[in-house]
Amino acid sequence: MLWTIIVTLVGGTIIGLIGKAVAPGDRTKFPFWLTVLCGIVGMLLGSLLYWVLVGNNNGPFDGHEATWDNATNGIDWWRHVWQIAVAAVAVIVAAALTGRRKV
């Protein structure tokens, strides 16, 4: 349980910062906790969207069936691209809702 929380926070931070960097526009006036939250949203929703749209037809590997959080053998780079894209959208929405823009 503790390991899941640590991985979620670290992964959310990384995905949120990358999502913030690739989001169009200037999003520099943005609180760090909201960036991490956008990254966590990107991780979860990006993985689920990838699973529903692309990954659910993968066959079994390494002795187990593919699941929404482990759809391929090895590193699932396309799932991470989906996570970053969803995090970028979350950053845009959060910036619009908080009204924080650099003037």
> What whole-number distance in Å separates Cα of residue 25 and Cα of residue 29?
11
The pLDDT assigned to 74 comes to: 66
pLDDT tens, position by position, for the chain (103 residues)?
788 788 888 988 898 888 888 888 776 677 888 889 999 999 889 888 888 887 666 666 666 676 766 666 667 788 888 889 999 898 888 888 887 555 5
| pLDDT given for residue 102 in this prediction | 55
Residue 57, H or E segment: none
Structure pTM? 0.78
Report the C-alpha dihedral over residues 99, 89, 18, 79, rounded to 10 degrees: 160
